[in-house]
Amino acid sequence: MKLNTRASLSTVALTVGAVLRRRGITAVLTGGACASLHTGGAYVSKDADFVVRGAVRQAALDSALGEIGFERQGDRYVHPRVSFYVEFPPGPLAIGSDLDIHPIEVDRGAGPALVLSPTDSCRDRLAAF
């Protein structure tokens, strides 16, 4: 999928998540982008955070995100036509001290992506506050 200046945060996040899954990288969308996805854009964020499960080489992330036009700049990935950036905060996947997190699969056209459930997304935003 080609991303452009009109792509919503949810579209960007789900496209990134789908590419990662196709490449065999298990990463879960968290943070504000996940809240934005579940609220239809009512929650606003400037980035998409993915927590990677398992060991993944930086080169694998670079290659996967490069496939859709992202380039690594420091600790984030940027796209020349997208106003949102992508980050990979360190794991483990948790909400506060709760490590028993069960992501859900969402597919809105780009392919399946793993995201926090609506309830866990709300818990995540409350924990971040």
2 pLDDT higher than 80? no
Q: How many domains does the chain have?
A: 1
Which tens digit of pLDDT belongs to each residue from 66-114? 999 999 999 999 999 999 999 999 999 999 999 999 999 999 888 899 9
**What is residue 66's predicted lDDT score, i.e. its pLDDT?**
96
**What is residue 3's predicted lDDT score, i.e. its pLDDT?**
87
- For residue 108, the enclosing domain spans 9-128
**What is residue 109's predicted lDDT score, i.e. its pLDDT?**
81
Q: What is the model's pTM? A: 0.94
Residue 3 lies in a domain: no
What's the CATH code of the domain at 91?
3.30.460.40
Residue 1 lies in a domain: no
> Do 4 and 81 meet the contact criterion of CB atoms below 8 Å apart?
yes
Residue 98 lies in a domain: yes
Q: Measuring CA to CA, how many Å separate 128 from each of 54, 59, 100, 125?
A: 23, 29, 17, 5
**d(Cα 88, Cα 49) in Å, to the nearest integer?**
6
41 pLDDT higher than 80? yes
Residue 35 lies in a domain: yes
